[in-house]
Amino acid sequence: MPTRDPPTRDQAKTMARRLRSALASRRIDLSHADSLELVAASFGLRDWNTAAGLLDGDRPDRIAFHRTSPILRIFDVAKAREFYCGFLGFAVTLEHRHEPGLPLYMAVERAGLELHLSEHHGDASPGSTAFVRMTGVRDFHAELFAKNDGYGRPGLERLPWGDQMEVHDPFGNRIRFCQAHG
């Protein structure tokens, strides 16, 4: 049986974010610290500090891109939550304000896709487009189409590069979900 390389610290952190997101979708609240501890335990390690020391498998002689999180500009937090969490089914994994009353920077995640949503003027331009490769685009399309929501009923196109569904958020941003033909 082939052995797998142990995950890097960043990969273990991603596992913790995904665990937290999956539990949040089931209305189970778990802190980020607790999710890190559970990931460490899943590797048979005593705690996250032990895991962080042992899982630092990043080698400086290798270039590796781990994850991309598009930043999309938002103008209304309530509308962003309604669209990204209510309509698309994402869960909030991060919220940050430098101090009360200042713009919000928020991350949402679903099934391994993390999007960053920002009220900050310089973070992104309204009307941006994010292209997301995925599997299960037909199921995702059926889920959104069945909601018969005010955000529209997205279409699904067969294009040379894959089956693609495009959604438009309340701020003019577009997300193109695409599954390669296979």
Give the per-residue pLDDT at 177: 97
Which of 74, 89, 90 is CA-nearest to residue 147?
89
Strand order through the sheet with 113-118: 71-73, 113-118, 105-110, 91-96
Walk me through the domains of the chain, giving residue ranges and CATH numbers.
9-54 (no CATH), 71-179 (3.10.180.10)
**DSSP designation for 31:** -
- pLDDT band for position 3 (cuts 50, 70, 90): very low
**pLDDT tens by residue, 19-54:** 888 888 888 888 888 888 898 888 888 888 888 877
| pLDDT number for residue 60 | 60
pLDDT, tens digit (0-9, with 9 covering 90-100), for 70-108 = 999 999 999 999 999 999 999 999 999 999 999 999 999
pLDDT at 61 over 80: no
pLDDT at 7: 77
Predicted local confidence at residue 5, as pLDDT: 61
For residue 123, CA distances in Å to 73, 74, 103, 104, 181 come to: 7, 10, 11, 11, 33
pLDDT digit string (tens) for 125-159? Answer: 999 999 999 999 999 999 999 998 877 789 999 99
- pLDDT, average across residues 11-26: 86
